Amino acid sequence: MQTSAFYIYAIGFIAQGFFSARMLIQWILSEKAKRVVSPDWYWICSLVGSILLFIYGWLRDDFTIIFGQLISYYIYIWNLNIKGVWPRMRLPLRTGVVLLPFLAFGLMLHDVPAFVDSFFHNDAVSIPLLVWGSAGQVIFTLRFIYQWYYSYRRNESILPKGFWVISLVGCAIIVSYGVFRIDPVLILGQSVGFFTYSRNLVLYKKSKLQ
Q: What percent of the chain has pLDDT over 90?
A: 37
Contact present, 190 and 171 (Cβ < 8 Å): yes
Domain count, the chain: 1
Please check the confidence at residue 147 and state whether its pLDDT lies above 70. Answer: yes
Instruction: Please give the single-letter amino acid code of residue 185.
Output: V
Q: What angle, 0 to 180 degrees and rounded to 10, lies between the N-to-C axes of helices 63-82 and 127-154?
A: 10
For residue 162, the model assigns a pLDDT of 93
Per-residue pLDDT tens digits for 81-123? 999 999 999 999 999 999 887 776 666 566 556 556 655 555 6
Contact present, 38 and 79 (Cβ < 8 Å): yes
Q: Which CA distances in Å does 64 have to 110, 156, 165, 178, 179?
A: 20, 30, 21, 11, 14
Domain hosting residue 158, numbered range: 1-209
